[in-house]
Amino acid sequence: MLRPRCSQLNRVQRLARRSYFSQTKPTNLATVSPSIIPNAEPPPPPKPVQPFAPQSKTPYLDGQVLQALARQPQTSLRDIIGHYLDETGNVLDVALPYESRPSNERKVMFGDNASSREVVTIAHCAQDEKKQHKITVSSGFALNFPSPAEGETLVVTCAHTLEEIRQSPLLRMKEFPPSDPSHHVATGTFVCIGSGDSMKLYPATGIVSALPRSDVVIISCKLPKDTLKSLPLSPYPVPAGRKIRAHFVSQEPTYGNGWVPWIGDTWGKWTQGMVLGYRDFAGQETQPGTYDALSHMLFTPFPTAGSSGGPIVDEESGAVVGMMLGSRMDNQVAGVRGWGIPSETIFEVSVLLSALNCM
């Protein structure tokens, strides 16, 4: 009897195995549904590298600040920053009056251009001979007590925009001798008032007091009489849940819904909001009417760029109860909220006020 060759045997075994598997049911294996994997399209070809695009046109407000910097003398930013450092914690020998319930003539009115014009823009600027420049802007408002310099007005604003330009390379080049015109840097701080072509810029003469930890600085500026109306301040913190109005800023044209032309080509609006609560410097929740330090206040909504330094007004009384500083993440649940200081912080620069109200 002939035995099949090895190759023939392997062929028979393969055929038998194939026949067996073709008759059995397939095993259910883990698969991925086509609906989970989308039909992947080939990536688009890379875009060609565009040549360097020139910078867009200088905004109107920036252009006016640069022109004022070039044509009129002003106190340099180096001197302004020197005042800021020297006058930190300085308590002024003046009385800032309590105005928790201002009269109709003094209270902040909403929805008209006049009230919006009571808030100003503070611009810190530096420009070198190569026309490289740095401008930082914030909002501010006048205080109802006289400046130590006769005939000048005191304007309160935030300090972080001054700190920002202080770190600019344009101000850190101390090795440049002032006698070398090729390295001349023009600097200054301006209080900007008025909209459109009627905008006026007035150079600041100095800083009379500052509270860097609270992000507060008080600027002195020589303004024509009755140019800027001061706003009434209340030293009493309003409770959480109180309705407020905060002066917001828009850099783009925004029509309707309470927006009105503001400084230069910017727009302003008294935005409705609400006080959410208070925090101390450690970030712990604090309550009005206790011995807790009310270092900061939380509010809604969070402010727009350029609104820092603007007033927060109690909607019921029309008195300023705080100043905006920006926005911060409160916690993972609450999210981002408006961040500011209560008005009582500004009262810390007035030494006579406490004594007068105790008499």
pLDDT tens readout for residues 244-279: 999 999 988 877 788 888 998 899 999 999 999 999
Contact status, residue 197 vs residue 75, Cβ threshold 8 Å: no
Q: Give the residue with greater pLDDT, 18 vs 107.
A: 107
Least confidently predicted of 11-15, 147-151, 202-206, 251-255? 11-15
3-state SS assignment for residue 278: strand
Q: How many CB atoms lie within 10 A of CB 351?
A: 15
pLDDT at 283 over 80: yes
Structure tokens belonging to residue 332: 């993972």
E-state strands within the chain: 119-128, 133-142, 153-158, 185-193, 200-211, 216-221, 243-250, 260-261, 267-279, 285-286, 296-300, 311-314, 320-331, 335-342
Least confidently predicted of 46-55, 129-138, 169-178, 295-304? 46-55
Question: What does the CA dihedral 64, 66, 70, 75 come to, rounded to 10 degrees?
Answer: 100
pLDDT at 170 (0 to 100) = 85
Return d(Cα 319, Cα 343) in angstroms, integer: 10
Mean pLDDT of 109-121: 79
- Summarised one tens digit per residue, pLDDT across range 201-222 is 999 999 999 999 999 999 999 9
Contact status, residue 265 vs residue 351, Cβ threshold 8 Å: no
Domain spans of the chain?
60-221, 243-358
pLDDT at 114 (0 to 100) = 61
- The mean predicted confidence, pLDDT, of the chain is 80
pLDDT at 180 (0 to 100) = 52
b (16+ CB within 10 A) / e for 293-319: ebbbbbbbebbbebbbbbbbbbbebbb
293 confidence band (pLDDT: 50, 70, 90): confident
- Summarised one tens digit per residue, pLDDT across range 315-339 is 999 999 999 999 887 666 567 889 9
Return d(Cα 282, Cα 312) in angstroms, integer: 23
pLDDT at 128 (0 to 100) = 86
Say which CATH topology domain 243-358 has. Answer: Thrombin, subunit H (2.40.10)
Return d(Cα 341, Cα 162) in angstroms, integer: 18
Mean pLDDT of 29-56: 43
Mean pLDDT of 111-118: 70
Of 221, 215, 271, residue with least CA distance to 246 = 271
Print the SS3 string covering 160-225: HHHHHHHCCHHHHCCCCCCCCHHHCEEEEEEEEECEHHHCEEEEEEEEEEEEHHHCEEEEEECCCC
The C-alpha R_g of the chain, in whole angstroms, comes to 32
Most confident range (mean pLDDT) of 144-148, 231-235, 351-355 is 231-235
pLDDT at 59 (0 to 100) = 84
pLDDT at 44 (0 to 100) = 53
pLDDT at 177 (0 to 100) = 46
pLDDT at 236 (0 to 100) = 93
- Chain centroid to Cα 326, Å, comes to 4
26 confidence band (pLDDT: 50, 70, 90): very low
